[in-house]
Structure 1
Amino acid sequence: MPLLTAAAVSLALLQTTATGERIAAGEQARLEVCLTKIETDPEDAYEDGLAWLYQGNRPGARQCTAMALIALGHQAEGAERLKNLANSTDGGTLEQRAAYLSQAGNAWIEAEDPDSALQAFNGALKIAPDAPELLLDRASAHMFLEDYDEAIEDLDAVLKRVPDHGEAYQMRGAAWLAKGDPDKAMLDVTAAMEADPEDINTLVLRGQVREALRLQSDAGGPIERLEID
């Protein structure tokens, strides 16, 4: 290719890249405005998202409307849209796709559909297998399904990566209690209290574990597996 032609092509590519970066920055700013508005006025945020969709069906617009739907109480529909966005050809980077799947999974937990949540978290973990928060999310789905051994396995992995993760200790303590082992549960409650003494979920769990230990002592042996809230 002649030098002048090559230079012209390079300039055109740089201009295209610069334009693309400006567009991406503008869309990111618009998405941030939408997500902020969802916290105070999700209905208005949803309407903004619909207008944005009409202008070009951009990924940010689809995320905006999906998150607004979740905030408006339509968790399953919002989760499905986020899953579709994660699997779309314009779904963005792998990190973005994992985030969409994580958001979808948590929405399905809210919708009391742990099977769909688990599928979403599994998909996210295929992209980011060592992410502690994704492992914590998947553990919550396992807990919902009463798959306590699987939940403990994920929580072990979280604590291996983040040794002082109070929520992971609290969740693992709940899993041990549900399995009928209040002694192990109390060890995790103690660790959770050290990490975050004010966590209300841990304080409630501590009361449940103490009661289980009392019943175990009165019975003179291990207690049966408990149902916990």
Structure 2
Amino acid sequence: MGLASPLVYVIAPLLLAAQTVSQTAAPGDAEREEMLRLRECLELVETDPEAAHEMAASWTYMEGNRRGARECRASALMALGYLEDGAYELEALANAPDGGSMDDRLTYLFRAGGAWLEIGMPDNAVLTFSNIIRLQPEYSEAYNYRGLAYLQLEEWENAEADLDTAISGQPGDFHAYLYRAQARFWQERYDEAMDDIVQARTLDPEDAQALLWRGHIREARRLIAEGRSVNEMPF
């Protein structure tokens, strides 16, 4: 169907968010030591994920299944391409008694949700982002990503409803307009879809996906004007 899914946008900021949460806490000595160790591991994930995974295994062996070791292991697994395993680890960590602060738990869930989207498991993504929304109903980005999951499921009305909420919370979110344009396109509401593409291109005039969808909408309008079916479009 040609759905836009810039998953670097989903995944990359979330690993950074994990590091930021760890750095901004105010722990005691033991927690500070664990935080520094986790930071070292997360930095290693970016350069040598295999070594980071070994570090997590050693950490677990020496000190037990500590939260930092589990986050390290999950991050390494995801960097190594085992996104499903990493996502399950992060969700378990988010729900664990020692899962950290609310911000920590939300970060784990957000990263897991991004992984579900990347590997094409939108049902899992909907559940994960729904849990985030339950914990923090004003979290606009969670509606955005759940909307993307609904797009993958071809649940256009649910996608549009979530993207409406995302745009209300973050009117400058390029991707929310791009995704909502797709939800409206598949409901054959081409004028409204084009309005969203115009708004998206105001925010990012050179984005290739926005240009692609502008072309799709124009082609759908042309076919309808000629009395033909949009099913002729090569999706």
Can you give the 5+ residue segments of structure 1 that lack an aligned partner in the other structure?
1-18
Structure 1 residue aligned with 2:152: 144
> How far did residue 122 of structure 1 move?
0.9
> How far did residue 125 of structure 1 move?
1.2
Structure 2 residue aligned with 1:42: 49
Does the aligned pair in 2 maintain the 1:95–1:127 contact within 8 Å?
no
Change (3 A) 1:178 1:203: same
Structure 2 residue aligned with 1:13: none
- Regions of 4+ moved over 3 Å: 223-229
Higher RCO by CA contacts (8 Å cutoff, separation 6 or greater): 2
Question: Separation in 1 of the partners of 2:192 and 2:232?
Answer: 14
Question: What letter corresponds to residue 35 of structure 1 in structure 2?
Answer: L
> How far did residue 20 of structure 1 move?
5.2
- Of the three residues 101, 117, 120, the one matched with 1:112 is 120
Structure 2 residue aligned with 1:218: 226
> How far did residue 112 of structure 1 move?
1.5
Question: What letter corresponds to residue 30 of structure 1 in structure 2?
Answer: R
- Of the three residues 98, 101, 122, the one matched with 1:93 is 101
Deviations 1:135-188 (A, max 9, x none): 111111111111111111111011111112111000101111122222111100
Does the aligned pair in 1 maintain the 2:143–2:162 contact within 8 Å?
yes
Question: What letter corresponds to residue 97 of structure 1 in structure 2?
Answer: R
1:79-90 residue pairs with structure 2 within 5 A?
A: 79-90=87-98
1:62-211 residue pairs with structure 2 within 5 A?
A: 62-211=70-219
Q: How many residues align?
A: 209
The TM-score normalised by the length of structure 2 is: 0.81
Question: What is the aligned-residue identity percentage?
Answer: 38
What value does the CA root-mean-square deviation take over the aligned residues?
Answer: 2.2
Deviations 1:67-106 (A, max 9, x none): 2111211111111111110111100112211211111111
Can you give the 5+ residue segments of structure 2 that lack an aligned partner in the other structure?
1-25
Question: Separation in 2 of the partners of 1:89 and 1:116?
Answer: 22
Question: Separation in 1 of the partners of 2:168 and 2:111?
Answer: 24
Change (3 A) 1:50 1:134: same
Q: In terms of Rg, which structure is larger?
A: 1
Deviations 1:9-64 (A, max 9, x none): xxxxxxxxxx9522223322322232232223221221112122223221121111
Does the aligned pair in 1 maintain the 2:122–2:153 contact within 8 Å?
yes
Question: Separation in 2 of the partners of 1:196 and 1:127?
Answer: 31
Question: What letter corresponds to residue 177 of structure 2 in structure 1?
Answer: Y
Structure 2 residue aligned with 1:5: none
**Is residue 24 from structure 1 mapped to residue 24 from structure 2 by the alignment?**
no
